[in-house]
């Protein structure tokens, strides 16, 4: 873990790392460094992409990734924030972890983040003709199905 943190600090000086007061170490990375950083994390032994959580922090959209090293059982969190709410775009992680395939489709469906290079960038859970991205905080629930 220490090695990885040192490596990230030297290779990606803009990335910030939180280790105090959090359950697992958290790396905050910019969209430009996202893919190379995730590659470095994979090389450091984090072979299990546990989950990809789409997030809407109010101002920014983004993804929270939980990763696990299946040998040492360490966990690490990588967060990426996107300022652009109109055309949010990220690199796909499909080539690094195969599980990203469905997780990224789900995030595209519910948050509208486009993953460049993904093999099937289509809606997954909602119908193909659905408009809008319901997990965003500014989504209007006109039929009052969920938000009363």
Partner 1 sequence: MDTVTLNTGDLKSQEYFLNMGPQHPATHGVLRLILTMDGEVVKNIEPDLGFIHRSIEKQCEYEGYKQIIHLTDRMDYLSAHINNEAVALAIEQALEIEVPERVKVIRTIMGELTRIASHLLWWGVMGMDVGALTTFMYAFRDREMINDIMEETCGARLTMSYSTPGGVMFDLHPNFVKRVKEFIPHLRSVIPKYDELLTGNVIFQKRMKGIGILSYEDAISHGASGPVARGSGVSCDRRKIAPYSALDKVDFKEIIYTEGDNLARYNVRMKEMLESLNIIEQLIDNIPDDGIQAKTKALIKLPKGEFLQRVETARGDLGVYIVSDGKKNPYRVKFRSPGFSNLNALIEMGKGHLIADVVAIMSTLDFVVPDIDR
| Min CB(33)–partner 1 separation in Å | 22
In the complex with partner 1, the residue whose CB is nearer, 83 or 130, is 130
Q: At what angle do helices 2-11 and 34-43 cross, to 10 degrees?
A: 150
Enumerate binding residues for partner 1 (CB under 8 A): 21-24, 47-51, 53, 55-56, 64, 66, 70, 73, 97-99, 101-103, 106, 120, 124-127, 134-135, 146-148
| Min CB(42)–partner 1 separation in Å | 10
What is the rounded distance in angstroms from the CA atom of residue 50 to the CA atom of residue 69? 10
Strands 48-56 and 89-91: unpaired
Phi and psi torsions of 116, nearest 5°: -70, 130
In the complex with partner 1, the residue whose CB is nearer, 103 or 118, is 103
In the complex with partner 1, the residue whose CB is nearer, 6 or 72, is 72
Alpha helices in the chain (DSSP H): 2-11, 34-43, 100-111
What is the rounded distance in angstroms from the CA atom of residue 70 to the CA atom of residue 98? 16
| Min CB(115)–partner 1 separation in Å | 15
In the complex with partner 1, the residue whose CB is nearer, 57 or 117, is 57
| Min CB(40)–partner 1 separation in Å | 17
């Amino acid at each position: 873990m220490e090695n990885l943190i040192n490596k990230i600090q030297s290779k990606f000086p803009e990335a910030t790392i939180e280790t105090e007061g959090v359950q697992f170490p958290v790396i905050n990375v910019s969209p430009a460094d996202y893919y190379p950083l995730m590659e470095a994390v994979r090389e450091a032994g984090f072979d299990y992409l546990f989950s990809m959580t789409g997030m809407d922090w109010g101002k920014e959209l983004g993804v929270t990734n939980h990763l696990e090293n299946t040998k040492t059982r360490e966990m690490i969190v990588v967060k990426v924030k996107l300022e652009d709410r109109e055309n949010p775009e990220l690199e796909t992680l499909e080539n690094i972890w195969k599980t990203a395939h469905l997780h990224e489709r789900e995030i595209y469906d519910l948050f509208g983040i486009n993953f460049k290079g993904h093999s099937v960038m289509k809606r997954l859970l909602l119908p193909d003709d659905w408009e809008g991205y319901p997990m965003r905080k500014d989504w209007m629930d006109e039929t009052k199905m969920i938000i009363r």
